[in-house]
């Protein structure tokens, strides 16, 4: 049975979608079967894999409503071992549409019960909030991966996220665990990046991944070409670090 990993942080611009796309692609390149589910109405993971969300007829919204079979919503990508359930435009209204749905916090978990045995990894790319869609993802996940940027306000909001994880674990998902904190947007030329990294490692110790994701131009460019960075420029530092993160995840026993 595969691992369901939610990539979550209520702060925007910390590298959630970049990590969701490129970590799943890196594991797929290692011939691990992966499914990426875009739970963010912005649909950046969907476009980052080369799809236009307005052209998708069905997506995660329909999957959560249980009005489609999984075969109808899963899309193949350019990587043979990576598939996608994309975000369509109607995902924006999901919370309002499902306000009267019974057990609405478990809609995604219910859908995933049919898919867990088909994949080694299922990644959930969460929106930058702690709302309905993120709670659904956390209720469905085995593990949470938290991207954290190496900048001054990095720890701002992290305590709120960790409190939310505790609440979800207590009320909705008692087996939820922290996969780790991933340091992103690291700039070795900037002493502040190192200071923030040291502070986070000092506080969270083994919960922080050894692999660090740098600021990298090619990594930033890849989404505009609708490709994971390893298909855009596998030799760049960003691609190499996501491949290293995939190896570290496996070495941690998350395989």
Mind listing the pLDDT tens digit for each residue in 34-73?
Answer: 999 999 999 999 999 999 888 888 999 998 888 898 899 9
Q: What is the pLDDT of residue 103?
A: 87
Percent of the chain with pLDDT over 70: 100
pLDDT digits (tens, 9 = 90+) for 110-122: 999 989 999 999 9
Q: What is the pLDDT of residue 114?
A: 85
Q: How far apart (Å, rounded) are the C-alpha atoms in residues 214 and 34?
A: 24
Global pTM reads 0.96
Q: How far apart (Å, rounded) are the C-alpha atoms in residues 101 and 61?
A: 13
Q: Which residues contact 227 (CB under 8 A, 6 or more apart)?
A: 48, 49, 50, 78
- Average the pLDDT over 152-175 and give the result: 87
Q: Tell me the domains of the chain and their CATH numbers.
A: 3-251 (3.40.50.300)
SS3 90: helix
Q: Which residues contact 174 (CB under 8 A, 6 or more apart)?
A: none
Q: What is the mean pLDDT of the chain?
A: 93
156 has a pLDDT exceeding 80: no
Going by C-alpha positions, the residue among 2, 35, 31, 77 that lies closest to residue 228 is: 77
Q: What is the pLDDT of residue 255?
A: 66
Phi, psi for 77 (deg, rounded to 5): -115, -175
Q: What is the pLDDT of residue 229?
A: 98
Q: What is the pLDDT of residue 153?
A: 80
Q: What is the pLDDT of residue 101?
A: 77
pLDDT digits (tens, 9 = 90+) for 173-212: 999 999 999 999 999 888 889 999 999 999 899 999 999 9
């Amino acid at each position: 049975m595969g691992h369901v990993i939610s990539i979550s942080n209520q702060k925007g611009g910390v590298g959630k979608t970049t990590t969701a796309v490129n970590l799943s692609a890196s594991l797929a390149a290692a011939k691990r079967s992966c499914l990426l589910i875009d739970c963010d109405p912005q649909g950046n993971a969907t476009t980052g894999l080369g799809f236009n969300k307005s052209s998708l007829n069905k997506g995660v919204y329909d999957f959560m409503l249980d009005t489609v079979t999984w075969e109808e919503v899963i899309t193949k990508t350019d990587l043979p071992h990576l598939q996608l359930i994309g975000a369509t435009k109607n995902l924006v209204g999901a919370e309002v549409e499902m306000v009267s749905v019974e057990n609405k916090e478990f809609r995604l978990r219910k859908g995933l019960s049919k898919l867990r045995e088909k994949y080694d990894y299922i990644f959930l790319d969460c929106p930058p909030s702690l709302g309905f869609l993120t709670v659904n993802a956390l209720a469905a996940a085995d593990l949470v991966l938290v991207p954290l940027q190496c900048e001054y306000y990095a720890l701002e909001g992290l305590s709120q996220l960790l409190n939310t994880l505790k609440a979800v674990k207590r009320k909705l998902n008692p087996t939820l665990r922290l996969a780790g904190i991933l340091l992103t947007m690291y700039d070795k030329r900037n002493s502040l990046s190192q200071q923030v990294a040291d502070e986070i490692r000092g506080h969270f110790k083994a919960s922080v991944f050894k692999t660090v994701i740098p600021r990298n131009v090619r990594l930033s460019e890849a989404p505009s070409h609708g490709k994971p960075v390893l298909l855009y420029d596998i030799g760049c530092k960003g691609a190499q670090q996501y491949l290293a993160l995939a190896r570290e995840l496996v070495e941690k026993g998350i395989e």
